[in-house]
Amino acid sequence: LAKTTQPISMDSYEGQEVNITCSHNNIATNDYITWYQQFPSQGPRFIIQGYKTKVTNEVASLFIPADRKSSTLSLPRVSLSDTAVYYCLVGDNTGRRALTFGSGTRLQVQP
Amino acid sequence: GAVVSQHPSRVICKSGTSVKIECRSLDFQATTMFWYRQFPKQSLMLMATSNEGSKATYEQGVEKDKFLINHASLTLSTLTVTSAHPEDSSFYICSASPRLRGRQLNTEAFFGQGTRLTVV
């Protein structure tokens, strides 16, 4: 399984755009990139998933360069409620294999 | 979206007793479910893979006789922590993914809300 590396923590202020980059140098051809958000004492929650280029949904954008060795989660105009741990995961996402969680990025949004 | 429900969300038990945690996929069938454990300030660690109708597969270092897993149906997996000790106190999380259908290539994993186990 491809290993991921992301910053341990980040700080931001309300209303700012936050970009969290994840490295996954040995990503496989059939691997997808998925980001999850976790609040304290809750299970992870799906944010966004992509394979290449750019994906956007109502909460975030995911940028994936052509070599797919990294990806960037972009959160527009964060609020205090976006304070959480964000995990970047790489896998085939068939549902038959467990996800391997790295250390995640602890985002702290200040007022 | 799909929902995975875990019960109970919080449990306190005495040392030596057993605790059962349920994981249900509410609106989809899951032949495979996964159980994770998370200690404070740490990431999720996979404990075992629960397979409907067959034995669970445990990760290295996880005692199968201590963490009993039963996947009795396509919507229910249970984790029983037997003879619990204080060091078993942790946050236990399950996940499941809907079956792929047709030309679908990928799916997302849905997680339960977690169970906070405290052994006193």
Task: Give the closest of A32, A41, A104 to B43, CB-based.
Answer: A104
Stretch B31-59: mean pLDDT, rounded?
93
- For residue A72, pLDDT over 60 is answered with yes
Percentage of residues in chain B having pLDDT higher than 90:
74
What's the number of CA atoms in the CB half-sphere (13 Å) around residue A82? Answer: 26
Residue B27 vs residue A80, higher pLDDT: A80
- Average pLDDT, stretch B90-100? 89
Read off the amino acid at residue B17: T
Q: How much is the pLDDT for A100?
A: 86
pLDDT digits (tens, 9 = 90+) for A88-101: 999 877 777 888 89
Q: What is the pLDDT of residues B62-87, one digit of tens each?
A: 999 999 999 989 999 999 999 999 99
Q: Is B93 on the interface with A (CB under 8 A)?
A: yes
User: No. of H helices and E strands in chain A?
Assistant: 0, 9
C-alpha B101/C-alpha B51 separation (Å) is 19
Are the Cβ atoms of B32 and A103 closer than 8 angstroms? no
pLDDT at site B104: 67
Which of A76-89 are b and which e, b meaning 16 or more Cβ less than 10 Å from the residue's Cβ? eebeeebbbbbbbb
Percent of chain A predicted with pLDDT > 90: 85
CA A7 to chain CA centroid, Å, is 11
pLDDT category of residue B99 using cuts at 50, 70 and 90: confident
Instruction: Flag whether pLDDT at A48 surpasses 70.
Output: yes
Digit-coded pLDDT (tens) for B5-24: 999 999 999 999 999 999 99
Confidence of residue A19 (pLDDT cuts 50, 70, 90): very high
Q: What is the pLDDT of residue A2?
A: 63
CB pairs under 8 A between A and B: 67
Contact B93 A94 (CB under 8 A): no
Which residue bears the tokens 């700012």?
A16
